[in-house]
Amino acid sequence: MGLLATLRGMSNKGRWKLASWTIIGTAGCVGVAIVINVMFFRAYGEEVLIRALLSAVVIPIILAGPLFFYLTLKLRELVIANYKLADAAAIDFLTKCLNRGAFSKRVEDWLTHRGDESASPSGALLVIDADHFKKINDRFGHHEGDVALKAIADAIQSVVRKDDLVGRLGGEEFGVFLPGATERAAASVAERIRHAVSDVAFVPRSKECRLSVSVGCAAFDRKTGFSELFRVADERLYEAKNAGRNCVVFGALGEAPQPIALMH
């Protein structure tokens, strides 16, 4: 039943690959058997050789065909299982965002790849932190805190683009990477995230509790690495916290110190 279910779930391309490997593997066994039988039986006359060649064709088809079919199918199941395990290992169980390790690696991979591909890659990193989150845990308990984290993650994911990366960096802190985004677009996304979180209906134990986030944004238009980008975005986040929270502090990578630009 498992094999039938696997076959039904395969695409036409997958079935074609399965058939191809089965045919190639079986043909290889037939070829080897023919060569060996010719070497051993050609001295015994034409009739014996013909029978030997016939067995060299029939027996591998009977035995090797189903074996290669089964092994190829099982190998495909193993590849799919490994892919699912790798995907699950990259996802934060609670929020369904990328975990910190997977997020930082994918951002670093993008920065490295695009940095080699283009003289001036661009984009932005947002570091987002839930405001006064400890008070939520202390007042309503960690279960409700988890509900709030899920709601914040959903709000963030609802406003980003398809190719943007969203990760949980730890605790109540999230990261959003916006590949190719201009400074204006990144600032707009950051503000939409802030509004989306503020609009979340969070009512733990039938008591309304407003959620808000502070956002630090670092835009870039040159080759950089994740550690540098994160450091700058985290500094912007720290400034947003000091500015009263529930706001966005935005700045470009490597810009000279200037008055903080706040968005409310």
**Catalytic status, residue 144:** no
What is d(CA 27, CA 64) in angstroms, rounded to the nearest whole number?
9
CB 165 within 8 A of CB 98: yes
d(CA 28, CA 34): 10
**Two tokens at 196?**
């989306």
Q: What's the angle, vertex CA 264, arms to CA 198 and CA 233, rounded to 5? A: 90
Q: How far is CA 238 from CA 215, 235, 245, 259, in A?
A: 9, 5, 9, 14
Q: Which of 175, 91, 87 is nearest to 125 (CA)?
A: 175
Active-site residue, from 47, 172, 183, 255: 172
What the block records as the tokens of 140 is 């309503």
Query: What are the residue numbers of the active site?
Result: 172
